[in-house]
């Protein structure tokens, strides 16, 4: 009986060992497949990015070769004489985005603080849904609303008051001077601020919710006010996420096209006044690409796209360096 039991146990053990080996082999094969797929996805992104960069370089080479550095320092944009300069669109892109972020970021952080720290529970969900709906509105709707409703209101009620208010103040009088057109750089910046506000707010709200309650409870237990808790606990704990949200909004502001095209005025000139019409890189490309006749004209528009690509890359790289410095400092 003992010999028979040992004889039957050996094949069973061999079968179990074979099944286990097949299972481990299958798991290893699945793991290698998953690793290859994720690696291929990462390389696909890099290849796509490189292909876009090469395409932009190739398409803009004629304009860069024809105009040289003057393309970046010249304000003139004349399709008739085929003399093009990118300074006005570059200026408009940077100024509108900067003003939009200066307006949107403090408001977004304030809304996020209110939703996470002060808002009654019954109102958190409706306000959160309203913010998400703002993020889902197409940009062309913002543009139409800005052109037909927002710009006339600014022209009639806001811009005349700004001109009269800052007229006696040196420096600011130039910044808010000229006739109240309604459309212009300031109008485009305000529309951009409305568009990026829900994105920054949503990110800030989510990162504020990640703060451990024990930290805030300890701060309140020490007698701190809500303002002190937000300033000394919530903001420092979530600063990396806040910067990420700001960069997300800035990327949206830099590349926005249709809404800005409707309200900025599309004038290829640089004015000291932010009330005057201007243009951006995206608006110029959207307005003129379908009408571009001639290789130099088309190449100049592609060169504008290359400049916008470079600006976005520099901004994101600087943001990444800033995050690395913050993380390093926090680790130290």
Q: Residues of the chain with pLDDT > 90: what percent?
A: 47
Residues in the chain: 332
Residue 82 DSSP code:
T
Nearest CA to 152 out of 178, 183, 175, 177 is that of 183
Q: Distance of CA 332 to CAs 67, 151, 326, Å?
A: 49, 50, 10
d(CA 62, CA 66): 6
pLDDT in tens, 233-256: 999 888 888 988 898 899 889 988
Show the tokens assigned to 83.
């003399």
CB neighbour list of residue 51: distance below 8 Å, 6 or more residues apart: none
For residue 81, give the H/E element and its range.
Answer: none
pLDDT in tens, 119-160: 888 888 888 888 888 888 899 999 999 999 999 999 999 999
Show the tokens assigned to 323.
């995050």
CB neighbour list of residue 65: distance below 8 Å, 6 or more residues apart: none
d(CA 56, CA 62): 11
Beta bridge partners of 78: 83
Average pLDDT over residues 196-220: 90
pLDDT value, residue 125: 86
């Amino acid at each position: 009986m003992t010999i028979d039991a040992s004889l039957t146990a050996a094949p069973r053990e061999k079968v179990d060992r074979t099944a286990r080996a097949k299972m481990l082999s299958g798991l290893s094969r699945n793991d290698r497949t998953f690793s290859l797929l994720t690696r291929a996805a990462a390389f696909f992104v890099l290849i796509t990015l490189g292909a876009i960069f090469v395409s932009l370089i190739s398409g803009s080479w004629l304009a860069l070769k024809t105009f040289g550095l003057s393309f970046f320092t010249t304000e003139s944009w004349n399709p008739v004489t085929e003399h093009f300069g990118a300074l006005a669109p570059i200026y408009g892109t940077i100024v509108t985005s900067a003003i939009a972020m200066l307006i949107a970021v403090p408001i977004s952080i304030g809304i996020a603080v209110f939703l996470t720290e002060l808002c009654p529970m019954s109102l958190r969900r409706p306000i959160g849904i309203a913010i998400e709906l703002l993020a889902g509105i197409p940009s062309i709707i913002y543009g139409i609303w800005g052109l037909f409703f927002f710009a006339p209101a600014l022209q009639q009620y806001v811009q005349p008051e700004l001109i009269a208010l800052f007229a006696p103040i040196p420096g600011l009088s130039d910044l808010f001077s000229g006739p109240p057109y309604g459309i212009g750089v300031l109008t485009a910046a305000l529309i951009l601020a409305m568009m990026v506000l829900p994105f920054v707010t949503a990110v800030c709200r989510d990162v504020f919710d990640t703060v451990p309650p024990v930290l805030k409870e300890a701060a309140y237990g020490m007698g701190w006010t809500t303002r002190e808790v937000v300033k000394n606990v919530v903001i420092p704990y979530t600063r990396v996420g806040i910067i990420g949200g700001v960069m997300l909004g800035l990327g949206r502001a830099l590349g926005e096209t249709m809404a800005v095209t409707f309200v900025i005025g599309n004038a290829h000139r640089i004015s000291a006044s932010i009330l005057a019409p201007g243009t951006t890189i995206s608006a110029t490309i959207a307005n003129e690409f379908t009408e571009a006749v001639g290789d130099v004209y088309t190449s100049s528009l592609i060169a504008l796209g290359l400049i916008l690509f470079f600006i976005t890359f520099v901004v994101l790289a600087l943001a990444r360096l800033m995050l690395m410095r913050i993380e390093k400092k926090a680790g130290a």
